[in-house]
Amino acid sequence: MANFAEIKQNLDPSFHYIIFEKTVNPADGPDFSEISAFITRYQKAVIEQEVHRDPTGKHLLLVVKLAADEIDEISQEILNLTFPEDITVYVYGRRPSIETA
């Protein structure tokens, strides 16, 4: 178990990360099926994935560590996707060069 602040402190600044936070019932399993297709499309960029449950049991956090050369494309796609209301997405690492219209 880890809370969000602990996870952020342990991120390696030389990599990029996408963190998916999902609100769940304490008895729910670690199900991130809503985003599995998204991650599968970028599997070549994924270095590591870890699922954490916060100490309250109310949030699951999927931490996806990414290769730096893919972050621009992945970040742009995240901006264009609509995730369920119970999922919050965070992107960490060096600021990606996202162009906005």
Give the pLDDT confidence of 41-79 residue by residue, as tens digits: 888 889 999 988 888 878 889 999 988 777 777 878 888
Answer whether residue 99 is part of any domain: no
pLDDT at 36: 83
Domain range for residue 54? Answer: 4-92
Phi, psi of 21 (to 5 degrees): -110, 125
Domain total in the chain: 1
Residue 21 domain flag:
yes
**Position 41 in a domain:** yes
The model carries a pTM of: 0.80
**Assigned domain for 100 exists:** no
